[in-house]
Structures are given as C-alpha cells and as structure tokens.
C-alpha cells in the first residue's frame, strides 16, 4: 500500500453492476464458503452436500471451503443468462462477493484498485455535480429478499 493512498479511494465513484462477470472471472480470486451454508447451497442447486463438494469445492483452512477454479481461473458458480453473467448461488454468495467493489482488499491497495477499475464496467467516476448515492450497489440482495435476485438462475 502506498503511504499517500486515500482512506476511501472510491468516494468519488458510483457503482451499478453491469453483470459483466469480470469480477467473478479473475484468476486467483478464490471464493470462500462457510461450512454452515453448504446444505442451503446444495439444496439451491438441487444437489446433495456430497455432490456440491465433489463438483464445486475443496476443503479450505479453518473448516471452511474454497470454490474450485473453473476454466481460466473463474469461479465455478459463474454462469450466463440472457447474454449476461449470472451467479448460480446468488442468494447465498459470500460477503466477499456481496461487498464488491467496496471491499478492504480493493480500498486498501492501489494496485488492486487499478485492476478493478480496468475490468469493472460498473464502476465510474461521478461528475462533480452528481455525487454518488449513499449506497449505489444496484444488484445487492440477500436470501431474505429473493425477489431481488436478478443474478439468480431460474
Ligand atoms: S459466488 Fe457468485 S458472485 Fe461470487 S464469485 Fe462466484 S459467481 Fe461471482
């Protein structure tokens, strides 16, 4: 991290997800899932937990699980629907995915931020007379709000 890197370098940016899927296709961006979520994720995919494990996951440290890398290093839950990226486990995606791009690893490292600014078409500088809304993430949802799951596969 550079000494003069600002506390919140995305303060002057707005974010509206364009469903490019680029954030889910970055090699090395291993998705970590808590063990307690596995039964729900398996049921969501129409699988048994054993099937979820063998198809998608490997055991990680601390009792959690890491998503296997799909072709090119992408997340194995990344899919496509109507020509746009889709997440197979959208209601249960981890905080790492929910909080993108306002994540500590992006906000605290200028090299990561520069990379995100290159690959994410939804992140744009605000015009000076058009400040960003309080929370401009347009694709956020949770299992409690399934009607908002616009990334979810049918
Ligand atoms: S779990 Fe879903 S949102 Fe997270 S990286 Fe994988 S495809 Fe993307």
Q: Is residue 50 one of the residues assigned to a domain?
A: yes
For ligand 1, atom 4, which residue shows the shortest CA distance?
A: 97
Q: Is residue 154 one of the residues assigned to a domain?
A: no
Upper half-sphere CA count for residue 105 (Cβ side, 13 Å)? 9
Q: Which domain holds residue 90?
A: 13-139
Q: Is residue 18 one of the residues assigned to a domain?
A: yes
What is the 100 CA–ligand 1 centroid distance (Å)? 10
Q: Is residue 87 one of the residues assigned to a domain?
A: yes
**Contacts by residues 43-52 (CB-CB < 8 Å, ≥ 24 positions apart):** 44/89, 44/91, 44/92, 45/88, 45/89
Residue pair 143/39 in contact (Cβ under 8 Å)? The answer is no
CA angle, 137 then 88 then 105, to 5°? 45
Among the listed residues 103, 122, 98, 64, the one whose alpha carbon sits nearest the alpha carbon of residue 89:
98
- When pLDDT is cut at 50, 70 and 90, the band that residue 15 belongs to is very high
Q: Count up the domains in the chain and report the number.
A: 1
Among the listed residues 76, 107, 81, the one whose alpha carbon sits nearest the alpha carbon of residue 93:
76
Residue 142's pLDDT is 37
Q: Is residue 128 one of the residues assigned to a domain?
A: yes
For the entire predicted model, the pTM comes to 0.79
What is the 75 CA–ligand 1 centroid distance (Å)? 6
Q: Is residue 147 one of the residues assigned to a domain?
A: no
What is the 21 CA–ligand 1 centroid distance (Å)? 8
Residue 40's pLDDT is 97
For ligand 1, atom 5, which residue shows the shortest CA distance?
A: 24
Among the listed residues 13, 19, 2, the one whose alpha carbon sits nearest the alpha carbon of residue 138:
19
Q: Is 93 in the pocket of ligand 1 (CB under 6 A)?
A: yes
Ligand 1, pocket-test mutation among 75, 80, 90, most atoms within 8 A of CB: 75
CB under 8 Å to 152, separation ≥6 — which residues? Answer: 86, 87, 90, 91, 146
Q: Is residue 96 one of the residues assigned to a domain?
A: yes
Q: Is residue 30 one of the residues assigned to a domain?
A: yes
pLDDT digits (tens, 9 = 90+) for 33-79: 999 999 999 999 999 999 999 999 999 888 899 999 999 999 999 99
Residue 3's pLDDT is 55
């Amino acid at each position: 991290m550079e000494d003069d890197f600002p506390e919140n370098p995305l303060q002057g940016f707005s974010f509206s997800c364009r469903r490019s899927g680029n954030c889910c296709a970055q090699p090395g961006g291993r998705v970590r899932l808590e063990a307690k979520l596995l039964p729900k994720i398996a049921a969501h995919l129409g699988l048994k937990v054993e099937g979820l494990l063998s198809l998608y996951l490997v055991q990680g440290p601390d009792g959690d699980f890491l998503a296997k890398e799909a072709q090119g290093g992408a997340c194995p839950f990344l899919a496509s629907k109507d020509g746009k990226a889709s997440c197979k486990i959208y209601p249960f995606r981890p905080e790492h995915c929910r909080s993108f791009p306002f994540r500590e690893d992006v906000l605290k490292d200028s090299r990561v931020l520069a990379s995100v600014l290159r690959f994410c078409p939804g992140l744009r500088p605000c015009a000076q007379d058009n400040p960003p809304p309080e929370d401009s993430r347009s694709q956020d949802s949770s299992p409690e709000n399934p009607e908002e799951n616009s990334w979810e596969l049918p």
